[in-house]
Structure 1
Amino acid sequence: MPVNFSQEQLSKTGVEVKNGKEQSSTMDKINNYLLRFSKVPLKERLFFVQHLGVMLKSGISLSIAIKTLAKQTEHKFFKKVLTDIGTKIEKGSSFAESLDSHKRIFGELFVNMIEAGELSGKLEEVLRQIFLQMKKDHKLISKVKGALTYPAVILMAMFGIGTFMLVFVVPKITAMFTEMNAELPLPTKVLIGLSGLIANNGVISAVIFVVLVFSFIKFSKTHKGKYLIQSLLLKAPVISPIIKKFNLARFARNISSLLKTDIMIIKAFQITASVLGNLHYREALIVMSKKIKDGGKLSDVINTYPKLFTPVVAQMVAIGEETGELDNILVELAEFYEEEVDQIMESLPAIIEPLLILILGLGVGGVAVAIIMPMYSITSSI
């Protein structure tokens, strides 16, 4: 049970009230600052969207529904965000306006769809659409991440084993060759030189490695770095089809969701451009939105980017334009490419495993040749 002391009682005990308040205020600021950077889990956002739609359908007011859901969430920062949104709505702000100050959490797509739902009076329907969109998006991203985890772990293990061999095993073999005064071939000299460099300069090697890794990570987060890496990946034999189909699925899913909430196609393209992570697709959508604004036909505009958009997309979009069913056609396209990504992800281990075995074989074979060659020269000289 908490005990409350008056200001006078605290003063008598020699406690400086002002300092206590300042310390408490500082700690609150630090906690709030740290909480802002804590990512709100998808399950929390999915729970919020799904249950908000149900509560609105049952006749509960928007502000009460949001504040009720704020009490139910266990995520501290998300609780504060929802409480703030509920308070702003009570003071007269619209749902979209209240969300706008928390765009970092919900995203531009979410805010714009809510705004369209409020204007059209279809907020419950839009919330259902957002829920399905988030689920599909999460499933697609999880599939790709899950499939790429296995080869990443194998490559890390190979790197670890290789480093262990160079640091602990090769020096012992080197000592044996030194005792025998054997003439070493070039592959063996390279292996011993690499081993000596790492083993004798362990700290320096580790520092250089860490610096290189962090430099690469930092570079990959810059616009120039992202663009360069994504350009290379779009040309890579196995990875390129995955990237294209993944982005086409997200493109079609996002545009269709926005069109279904009566958002204009130009704005739909601009919003989707901000959602897609690939800079090539992002830039293409921005240019495409300008061309559509100038009177260009969507299917014709898509055809100007054959390296990013397949002929199937252009043809299906053309049919959607002619029939007036573009949003439904895009849903079908999204499902088609999502299924394509699923199939590729399921077959990816079978494609990557031979490649990993080849890399492993070359590494082991190279070390074996470098060790065996001087042994042959020693035995032949006896």
Structure 2
Amino acid sequence: MPKYRYIAFNELGKKVSGIHEGQNKEDVLLMLRDNKYFPVKIKKIQTKKNIIMLLKSRGFINFDKPNLKEISDFCRQLSIMLNVGVPIINSLDAILLETNNKEMKIAISKITYDLLNGSTFYKSISKRKDIFPNLLINMIRAGEISGNIDEALYKASDYYEKQDLINNKIKSATIYPILLSITCFLAITFILLFIVPNFIIIFEMNNIEIPLTLKVLMSVSNFLKKYNYIFILFLISFILILKKILTLNSVKTKYDKFKFKIPILKEILKTSTAIKFSKTLYMLISSGVSLIESLDIASSIVENIYCNKNILEIKNEVENGDSLSYCMKSRTIFYQGMTSMINIGEESGRLEEVLCKVGEYYEKDLEILSDKYIKLIEPIMIFLVSIIVGIIVIVVIFPIFNLINSI
């Protein structure tokens, strides 16, 4: 975060100066006013960018943005305090003291400043879309209109808490194959750097021709030893560039569509999409937001661009007079069972209730899918790693057996 040097006068007219961190000059100005200082000069301190700052500025990493758990906690705390009659400014001040995330602290300070100057909560928080999700902002808007902002915040808190649990479930399902892949990579690197060179020495000492397979492995080993820094730098650069390429809209659309063709991943994606879609529509519609606007917001909630485009197409078709279930029917991103349930909800006039039940049903389904995925992927990964390491070992050990037989 940038640092600013300031010069100001306090209430007694005494000159004070110092350094303060902030997103911009407005943050420093807010701090000075809070301390009843009269600013004279605020100047940004120019610093050399380190690698972390450079990566953050290019959008490769973002450590400061609040996670779903922090968003959920913010909504729940604010909801409880508003429900018992604590004024919103006092509530935000109390949350500010409890919050550890720097970006959220700054955002809450700015919101409080706006409220003191006559702004509404919705108008103020809508300026902080880089911190607060679009869904939450629209829930607050609906809550202000209906006069039930505490209820809207409680629903949002519940939603983000469950989304956090779902994300953790998916991460736990993918962490095992990742760890196993890293272990495999380290094992192969160890063999190439330490085992292969020793075997080469044995062959050279006995004046025996080195087999072609060992020569190839030795070349790789020498390259890794001689150019290890270049190799590591290339590997990191490749991962970062690949990550950036996958964020390009045209590439990401094709990649996201391809995900729906991978057997196990397809089911997890469809289930998580069903949860987000149904839960988002339920919360917004039950808060008084129109179906069209709810669909527009739901499309931005889903990270998968292929799904995002499908939902926007559904929104356009609903605008033209078609029913929600009819528009969903032709989309492969949704289960037919889900579409049928929503159709029943529309016909019975209980769409909100059905959307809530659909979300709960698929939340349970995702747990079963994740457990099934973990149980299936474990033996597959062990088998693949065994084959890779086995081939390397055979390539190294067989020549040794031939050497022993020749002595």
TM-score range, shorter chain: 0.7 to 0.9
Paired residues of 2:177 and 2:377 also in contact (CA < 8 A): yes
Q: How many residues are aligned here? A: 365
Aligned-pair distance for 1:345? Answer: 2.0
What amino acid maps onto 1:355 in structure 2? Answer: I
Corresponding residue to 1:144 among 166, 170, 180 = 170
1:347 aligned partner: 372
Q: What is the 5 A alignment of 1:50-199?
A: 50-182=76-208, 187-199=213-225
* Separation in 1, partners of 2:310, 2:262: 20
* Separation in 2, partners of 1:183, 1:309: 62
Summarize the Cα distance change of 1:66–1:292 in structure 2 as closer, same or farther, 3 Å threshold.
Answer: same
Summarize the Cα distance change of 1:25–1:112 in structure 2 as closer, same or farther, 3 Å threshold.
Answer: same
SS at match of 1:254: helix
Asked if 1:26 corresponds to 2:44, the answer is yes
2:31 aligned partner: none
1:251 aligned partner: 277
Once the two structures are superposed, residues 70-112 of structure 1 have per-residue CA deviations (whole angstroms, 9 ceiling, x without a partner) of 3443444433322322332343322211111112211111111
Corresponding residue to 1:227 among 250, 253, 256 = 253
1:356 aligned partner: 381
Aligned-pair distance for 1:301? Answer: 0.8
What amino acid maps onto 2:345 in structure 1? Answer: G
1:13 aligned partner: none
2:268 aligned partner: 242
SS at match of 2:44: helix
* Separation in 2, partners of 1:185, 1:236: 40
What amino acid maps onto 1:26 in structure 2? Answer: K
Asked if 1:304 corresponds to 2:330, the answer is yes
SS at match of 2:252: helix
Paired residues of 2:275 and 2:363 also in contact (CA < 8 A): yes
What amino acid maps onto 1:366 in structure 2? Answer: I
Aligned-pair distance for 1:277? Answer: 0.8
Give identity over the alignment, percent.
25
Aligned-pair distance for 1:211? Answer: 2.8
* Separation in 1, partners of 2:131, 2:348: 37
TM-score of the two chains, using structure 1 as the length reference: 0.85
Paired residues of 2:196 and 2:214 also in contact (CA < 8 A): no
* Separation in 1, partners of 2:121, 2:402: 81
TM-score of the two chains, using structure 2 as the length reference: 0.80
Paired residues of 1:144 and 1:345 also in contact (CA < 8 A): yes
Q: Which moved more, 1:289-298 or 1:68-77?
A: 68-77
Paired residues of 2:66 and 2:101 also in contact (CA < 8 A): yes
Aligned-pair distance for 1:222? Answer: 2.4
Structure (1 or 2) with the greater helix fraction: 1
SS at match of 1:105: coil
Asked if 1:335 corresponds to 2:353, the answer is no
Aligned-pair distance for 1:185? Answer: 5.4
Which structure has the higher relative contact order (CA within 8 Å, separation 6+)? Answer: 1
Paired residues of 1:167 and 1:199 also in contact (CA < 8 A): yes
Structure (1 or 2) with the greater strand fraction: 2
What amino acid maps onto 2:123 in structure 1? Answer: E
2:348 aligned partner: 323
